[in-house]
């Protein structure tokens, strides 16, 4: 069995989703350290804050990356060297948690990077009224053509027949009113058109400060949302993280790589469910584990046991 560990993106967070993790003293200590490094009260937001509060980009992104760090640390504690050689990949902001798992960033650098990214993207989102909608089903070429017609952009190619459209609200309403044949359009509760031209200023500002975030070359395979291939240089991966701010997420290509590589087991770090949901539709027969709480670690360990 070939196993990958994946890290979800923005929108996966839920109120109170870190409460059970913080029952582990080591996880609480790590989260407090990350809160200090990020300037975000990750303990309160991961346990007490409501859905509207943690939808804020400046809070959501550090919170999700912190959850990925806690998940990976707990896995590493249980599995140790058995994680050597395991491929990791993240969706959008989850790429930063994956960079930690791959050894590209240390924990504090990962959380500082995502805090900087989140604040810049939130600033760009505040400059224009934009949003995003999921387009489910239909022919990909037809969907992209319709988005172009409406001056919308495909922000995420998620695979499993899902593309996320981004742009101005009137255009998104027009897409919903007259969808492409065979599709459903589902509005998303997000604050901006991420991974599009609307994030150009955020991209440029993050690029200007990228050297402030030290990197090492990865110690295990890590895939990029650019084209789904493995990256062997920490500096190259950091540049891809910067460029990904205003470029579409190609999670479909990551999943295609999983299929081509013969992946038969996929673990999704907290807050889990989105990526395993996509894999359930696009990677039939793959064993899927949602690592949402410490109690889920036993299932993850059992997955590795079955691979031997």
171-218 pLDDT, tens per residue? Answer: 999 999 999 999 999 999 888 999 999 999 999 999 999 999 999 999
Say yes or no: 273 and 221 in one domain. Answer: yes
Instruction: Give the strand order in the sheet containing 249-250.
Output: 183-188, 131-137, 162-167, 153-159, 249-250
**pLDDT tens-digit series, residues 214-272:** 999 999 999 999 999 999 999 999 999 999 999 999 999 999 999 999 999 999 999 99
CATH of the domain at 153: 3.30.70.250
Which pLDDT does position 307 carry in this prediction?
Answer: 80
Is 92 a residue of the active site? Answer: yes
Residue 30 has pLDDT above 80, yes or no: yes
Place of tokens 């989140």: 118
**Domain region containing 169:** 129-188
Q: Do you find a cis peptide bond into 126, omega within 30 degrees of 0?
A: no
What number of H helices and E strands is found in the chain?
13, 9
Q: Which of 199, 49, 178, 190 is nearest to 120 (CA)?
A: 199
Say yes or no: 157 and 271 in one domain. Answer: no
Place of tokens 């080591």: 26
Boundary of a domain, candidates 163, 188, 213: 188
Lowest-pLDDT range of 24-33, 99-108, 227-236, 277-286? 277-286
Say yes or no: 116 and 143 in one domain. Answer: no
Boundary of a domain, candidates 188, 211, 232: 188
Residue 1 has pLDDT above 70, yes or no: no
Other C-beta atoms lying within 10 Å of the C-beta of residue 76: 13
Say yes or no: 78 and 134 in one domain. Answer: no
How does residue 283 score in pLDDT terms, banded at 50, 70 and 90?
Answer: very high
Say yes or no: 232 and 182 in one domain. Answer: no
The average pLDDT across 130-154 equals 97
Say yes or no: 121 and 137 in one domain. Answer: no
Catalytic member of 12, 92, 131, 133: 92
Catalytic member of 49, 71, 91, 195: 195
Say yes or no: 143 and 158 in one domain. Answer: yes
Question: pTM of whole model > 0.95?
Answer: yes
Could you give the percent of the chain with pLDDT greater than 90?
Answer: 95
| Residue 264 CB burial class (10 angstroms; 0-12, 13-18, ≥19) | middle
Is 216 a residue of the active site? Answer: no
Task: Report how many domains make up the chain.
Answer: 2
CATH of the domain at 71: 3.40.366.10
Say yes or no: 219 and 122 in one domain. Answer: yes
For residue 199, how many C-alpha atoms fall within 13 Å in the half-sphere facing its CB? 28
How does residue 31 score in pLDDT terms, banded at 50, 70 and 90?
Answer: very high
């Amino acid at each position: 069995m070939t196993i990958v560990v994946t890290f979800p993106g923005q929108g996966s967070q839920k109120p109170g989703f870190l409460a059970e993790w913080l029952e582990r003293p080591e996880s609480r200590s790590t989260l407090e350290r990350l809160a200090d490094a990020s300037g975000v009260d990750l303990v309160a937001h991961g346990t007490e804050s409501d859905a509207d509060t943690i939808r804020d980009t400046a809070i959501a992104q550090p919170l999700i990356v912190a959850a990925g760090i806690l998940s990976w640390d707990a896995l590493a504690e249980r599995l140790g060297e058995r994680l050597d050689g395991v491929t990791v990949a993240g969706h959008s902001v989850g790429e930063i948690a994956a960079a930690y798992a791959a050894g590209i960033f240390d924990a504090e650098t990962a959380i500082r990077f995502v805090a900087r990214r989140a604040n810049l993207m939130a600033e760009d989102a505040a400059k224009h009224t934009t949003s995003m909608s999921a387009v489910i089903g239909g022919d990909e070429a037809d969907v992209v053509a319709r988005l172009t017609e409406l001056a919308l952009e495909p922000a995420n190619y998620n695979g499993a027949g899902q593309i996320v459209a981004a742009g101005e609200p009137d255009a998104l309403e027009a897409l919903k009113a007259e969808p492409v044949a065979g599709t459903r359009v589902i509005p998303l509760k997000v604050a901006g058109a991420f991974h599009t031209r609307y994030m150009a200023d955020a991209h440029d500002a993050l690029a200007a400060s990228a050297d402030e975030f030290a990197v090492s070359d990865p110690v295990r395979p890590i895939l990029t949302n650019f084209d789904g291939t493995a990256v062997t240089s920490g500096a190259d991966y950091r540049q891809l993280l910067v460029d990904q701010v205003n470029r579409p997420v190609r999670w479909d290509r990551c999943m295609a790589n999983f299929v081509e590589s013969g992946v038969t087991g996929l673990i999704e770090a907290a807050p889990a469910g989105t990526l395993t949901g996509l894999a359930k539709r696009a990677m039939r027969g793959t064993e899927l584990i949602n690592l949402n709480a410490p109690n889920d670690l036993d299932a993850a360990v059992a997955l590795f046991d079955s691979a031997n």
